[in-house]
């Protein structure tokens, strides 16, 4: 093997190793997720791909309207399921569902992102505890969310924040 061929080979190997390192670092901090179902319509549909920051909430707390990937476990499922939902309640919030509308701390929440503004679900009152958030789908009539399984733990059930819709 000539010196030129050896340098070319080592250059190629170095390029492959650097590329693999960059990709592994990227996927350590981020993940790609696929939306399953229509619970987030009209903004997100079945099959849409999103980029998720895995460590976003290690640096700051969730905020209203953040889109998050959560891990949902149910006795009906063989394995935990990942879901995309919108944060509508933060620790300390008093949420009330009245006449199909969401009230946060006695103030009607404007939700222009909803698929249907006329939603029917039972009236109820929820207090979000410290370390938890209340999440809901934008397609309220077709969403399994905190109305069904309760508040979710920020540290153990939120996988990350959706930061970009890819396609």
Pick 119 or 35 by higher pLDDT.
35
pLDDT at residue 115 is higher than 90:
no
Set out the domains of the chain in order of their start, with CATH numbers.
30-165 (2.10.109.10)
Mean pLDDT of 56-72: 95
Out of 7, 24, 85, 143, the active site residue is 85
**Mean of the per-residue pLDDT values of the chain:** 91
Mean pLDDT of 111-136: 89
161 is catalytic: no
The reported pTM is 0.85
Selection from 94, 85, 86, 87 nearest residue 128 by Cα:
94
Contact status, residue 42 vs residue 51, Cβ threshold 8 Å: no
36 is catalytic: no
Rg of the chain over Cα atoms, rounded to whole angstroms, equals 21
Which residue do the tokens 């993940």 mark? Answer: 31
Out of 7, 11, 24, 39, the active site residue is 39
Contact status, residue 109 vs residue 134, Cβ threshold 8 Å: no
Q: How far apart are CA 160 and CA 58, in angstroms?
A: 9
H runs (alpha helix) in 47-138:
56-59
Selection from 160, 163, 158 nearest residue 72 by Cα:
158
């Amino acid at each position: 093997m000539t010196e030129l061929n050896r340098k070319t080979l080592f250059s190629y190997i170095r390029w492959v190793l650097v590329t693999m390192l960059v990709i592994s670092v990227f996927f350590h901090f981020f993940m790609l997720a696929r939306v399953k179902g229509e619970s987030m319509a009209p903004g997100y549909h079945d099959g849409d791909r999103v980029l998720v920051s895995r460590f976003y909430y290690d640096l700051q707390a969730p905020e209203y309207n953040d889109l998050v990937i959560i891990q949902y476990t149910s006795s009906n499922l063989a394995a935990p399921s990942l879901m995309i939902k919108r944060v509508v309640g933060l620790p300390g919030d008093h949420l009330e569902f009245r006449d199909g509308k969401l009230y946060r701390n006695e103030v009607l929440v404007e939700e222009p992102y909803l698929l249907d503004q006329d939603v029917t679900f039972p009236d109820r009152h929820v207090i979000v505890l410290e370390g938890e958030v209340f999440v809901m789908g934008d397609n309220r009539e077709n969403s399994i969310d905190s109305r069904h399984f309760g508040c979710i733990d920020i540290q153990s059930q939120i996988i990350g924040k959706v930061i970009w819709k890819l396609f």
